[in-house]
Structure 1
Amino acid sequence: MKGRTIILDQIEGSQAAALMVDGKLDDFLIDGDRPRPGTIYRARADRPVKGQGGMFVTTPDGPAFLRQVKGLAPGAQLLVQVTGFAEPGKALPITDRILFKSRYAIVTPDAPGLNISRSIRDEDERDRLLEIAHEQMEDSSYGLILRSCCSGADIVDIEEDISAMRALAEQILNDSGTEPETLCEGDGPHILAWRDWTDPAEVITEPGGFEAQGVLDALDTALGIAEPLPGGGYLFIEATRALVAVDVNTGKDSSLAAGTKANFACAKQLARALRVRGLGGQITLDLAPMPKKDRRGFEQVLRAALKADSVETTLAGWTPLGHYELQRKRGRIPLAEVLK
């Protein structure tokens, strides 16, 4: 099946969304029982962590950890936003730099100025969007970013989006409460799919869509450790408490270039495989044998694939043993923890 298809459905009572590209599962979102990223709290500073420059804070959903704190005294009230999912037994990761993000607009209270996505290069289109931004953000001290999907979008849709995000920001930032409280829930999978999967696609909302479109079969593969690669190789992906280990296997290919081919296939497929499985943190790649002269090409292919990925990933580089390491944001719930 060619093309892009977005399927909105449920699994075991949990809201979920799947993105199929040319018949293959490209992304998957599912709700869990943890606070969603994007949730905004009125919180209370609890205790500083000496040597780390951070502060534990109290939220309605338990303790959270705020990094790089200066001038914040225990007992102070502050607004914070969840930035990712915490590992079991650890505090929620949060920030005090609140963002209000939707499909077309991101309101940035701590970063004044009107900005257009760099991917929009047509000067006439940029001028059109700047005019919309000036009209909607007039007399506001907040900043605004218009996202790439604004290009060619209907002016009314963009204006309504900006207006909604500005109103939400004003409501939250003018809050006058004094006790820890949840002020705004993060977006669920269906809203996230509308917000972030903006390329043209067929949208299926009928119950049973996952089964009819092959999503359930793709999830069975993702729940296992083996991920097939083009050319007959495999990735074996196993999450441990400390890191995610990825082993590249050449399969039945015994040619001299088998290792290089499998590693380059890994570079192209790795982001999708991790994204669907919801895996983040430290990633260690145990690559198949290949000449050192091919390492630069491997990094270039990997960097290009990650550039198009929605999850922030840092390339750490090669280890003395020849492994390759990455650091990936924990922006998803691991699939194996939700679909046990």
Structure 2
Amino acid sequence: MNKIVIDSGFSQSRVALLENGELVEYYIESKNFKRIVGNIYKGRVKNVLPGMQAAFVDIGLEKNAFLYVKDAIPQEILYDKKKTFKDILIKDVIKNGQEIIVQVTKEPMDNKGARVTTHLSFPGRYLVLMPNIDYIGISRRIEDKDERARLRKIVEEIRPKGMGLIIRTESENKEEKDLIEDLKYLLKLWHKIEKEKKLGFPPKILYKDLDLIYRTIRDFFTEDIEELIINDKENYNAILEFLDLISPKLQDRVKYFDPGINIFSYYGIEKKIKEALSRKVWLKSGGYIVIDKTEALTSIDVNSGKYVGVNDLSQTIIKVNKEAAKEIAKQIRLRDIGGIIIIDFIDMENKKYEQEILKLLESELSKDRVRTNVLGMTGLGLVEMTRKKVRKRISSILEKKCPYCNGLGMVLTPETVINNLENELKRISLHTNSEAVIVNVNKEVGRILNGDMKEYVERLENALNLKIFICKDDNIHSNDYDVKYMGRLNKVKDILKEIDSK
């Protein structure tokens, strides 16, 4: 049973897509920070970079957007097999200071600005309108040849002259009137933008894509979804009105949920989100996968873990690898991992098994809406694949870099902290007249210094001629220590008594 669960809060909207009870896609949008993919801007070219075959465009954001030559040239060149864009220079397409209409295709990420294109497109329920190219496309997910031919014939008749249309998967088995109504809605948007782009100076926003909840209804709420549950009455009523325009048959599947209960906890989604942030993901067999992100790529390592099989080692390996392939495809989709991905399956001596794993991985990835490409297995037995980057991955939305470990995910060992403290105490002994110090340390470091390393502290005191009082403090980070007081021994002892009395 497939469901969409929407948590509409005061600060955030969250959407979870469940397939047979499993969380397969998760989206989050802050009420204060909206996504910009799909937005259309009137911008100004700030800097043409011939060496990079690209340009920077000011669209009114903190960082200039990036426009690659492929996204700047007329679309008909891209769709004409007799022509190639590789010989076209960016400086011959656009100039510094030029006004230009662009659409955002990728969110700003890390230190990079948004990526934009001049190839505008407007997604509707059943069709995608491309106003600047004479073209007809059809979703590969519509596999029936007769249905493809029927839809293409309808679109050829209703398509405005000189414009392009892509037939979306949801168009399958729909009547001509449904496609016509969808096209009317998209043309209204385009005509509105045509008027807006003639007014005002760049940078200026011309079109803002739907927010998360309405995009969910447009793009995900199909006949395959049995229920859509939302915990906000106002949005519940608005969804029903929206569906009345685009798909009235689905109105009965929309359910209102009591806002007094945590809707994500009720459906077990909160727990699944935490699992999606974990570096290690356990498999049902007892094996596990480890997901690590680097600057250049994401690596996924498969391990047999607790699973030892029964008799045949090769069958044990293939079982874990098959289970891992399914889980990896799910995790890539759920975490929204993009870019280069390297997968290290458990070594398989039989080439037949390797092909089985690759086919299974490709089959599972075919469920993903985002384009993926499995390149095959390298000589080292690693699977190379890519996935289109569209938005930030879940981890970067829900988590931030640790201010203590600078994003390494590691902290100093107690021994390292103790060594750092020793150097500080040597400095105090050498450069001050202090007879004693009170040092606050993390609980674990304090336990070691007052326990197994008590003799070490005594040797240090004798060597430095400095009385050292160790105090455990829950508020001290495990990497740190704090020399709280230093001075005459009697004075330090008095301060220590005051601390103990509190």
TM-score in same-fold range (> 0.5) = yes
Q: Are the structure 2 counterparts of residues 193 and 34 from structure 1 closer, same or farther at C-alpha, using a change threshold of 3 Å? A: closer
Q: Deviations over 1:61-103 (max 9, x none)?
A: 2311111253211111111111123321112122211110122
- For residue 13 of structure 1, report the CA deviation from its aligned partner: 1.8
Per-residue CA distance 1:151-175 (angstroms, 9 max, x = gap): 2346554333211112212322452
**In 2, distance between residues paired with 1:76 and 1:92?**
19
Aligned to 1:225: 279
Change (3 A) 1:330 1:114: closer
Question: Alpha-carbon deviations, 1:80-130, whole Å to 9, x = none?
Answer: 111123321112122211110122110012331444445163637853674
Q: Report SS of the residue matched to 1:260.
A: helix
> Aligned equivalents of 2:316 and 2:191: distance in 1?
57
Alignment of 1:228-243 (within 5 A): 228-243=282-297
Equivalent positions of 1:7-86 (< 5 A) are 7-10=5-8, 13-32=11-30, 33=33, 35-61=35-61, 62-68=63-69, 69=72, 70=90, 71-86=93-108
- Using the size of structure 2 for normalisation, the TM-score is 0.62
Letter in 2 for 1:217: K
Counterpart check, 1:328 vs 2:387: yes
Give the corresponding residue for 2:209. Answer: 186
1:288 counterpart residue number: 346
CA distance in structure 2 between the partners assigned to 1:39 and 1:264 by the alignment:
40
Following superposition, the deviation at residue 292 of structure 1 comes to 4.8
Residue 166 of structure 2 is aligned to residue 148 of structure 1:
no
**Structure 1 equivalent of residue 121 of structure 2:** 99
Q: 1:187 to 1:331 in 2, by over 3 A?
A: farther
- Residue 357 of structure 2 is aligned to residue 298 of structure 1: yes
* Counterpart residue identity of residue 54, structure 1: A
Query: Is residue 171 of structure 2 the alignment partner of residue 170 of structure 1?
Result: no
Pairwise CA distance, 1:295: 1.9
CA contact (8 A) 1:313 1:329 kept: yes
Give yes or no for contact 2:279–2:291 (8 Å, CA) kept in 1.
Answer: yes
**Residues 307 and 216 of structure 1: is their aligned pair in 2 closer, same or farther, counting only changes over 3 Å?**
same
Distance 1:263 1:132, change over 3 A: same
> What is the TM-score of this pair, normalised by structure 1?
0.89
Go from structure 1 to structure 2 and tell me whether the alpha carbon gap of 1:125 and 1:245 turns closer, same or farther (over 3 Å shift): closer
Counterpart residue identity of residue 287, structure 1? F
Q: In the TM superposition, what is the alpha-carbon distance from 1:228 to its structure 2 partner?
A: 2.7
1:195-242: CA deviations, max 9, x gaps?
222223211012432222111111011111122334222221122222
Q: Who wins on radius of gyration, i.e. which is larger?
A: 2
Kindly, what percent of the aligned residue pairs are identical?
28
Structure 1's unaligned 5+ residue stretches are none
**Structure 2: distance between partners of 1:67 and 1:211:** 43
**Letter aligned with residue 163 of structure 1:** K
Q: Which one has the bigger helix percentage? A: 2
> Would the alpha carbon gap of residues 188 and 326 (structure 1) be closer, same or farther in structure 2, given more than 3 Å must change?
farther
Greater CA drift, 283-292 or 146-155: 146-155
Match of 1:251 among 289, 305, 308: 305
d(CA) in 1 for partners of 2:279, 2:4: 25
Question: Measured at CA, do residues 222 and 10 of structure 1 come closer, stay the same or move farther in structure 2, by a change above 3 Å?
Answer: farther
Greater mean deviation of Cα atoms: 189-198 or 154-163: 154-163
8 Å Cα contact 1:36/1:188 also seen in 2: no
Counterpart secondary structure, 1:110:
coil
Paired positions, count: 336
Tell me how far apart the structure 2 counterparts of residues 218 and 319 of structure 1 sit (CA, whole Å). 33
Distance in 2 (CA, whole Å) between partners of 1:194 and 1:129 is 25
Shift of the 128–236 alpha-carbon distance from structure 1 to 2, 3 Å rule, reads closer
Q: Distance between the aligned counterparts of 1:321 and 1:166, measured in 2?
A: 52
Task: Find the aligned partners of 1:232 and 1:17 in 2 and give their Cα distance.
Answer: 30
Change (3 A) 1:323 1:123: closer
Q: Provide Cα deviations, 1:282-328, integer angstroms capped at 9, x if missing partner.
A: 21212222225122222211222222211112223333432222221
| Structure with more contact order per residue of length (Cα contacts < 8 Å, sep ≥ 6) | 1
CA separation in 2, counterparts of 1:129 and 1:48?
40
SS in structure 2 opposite 1:219?
helix
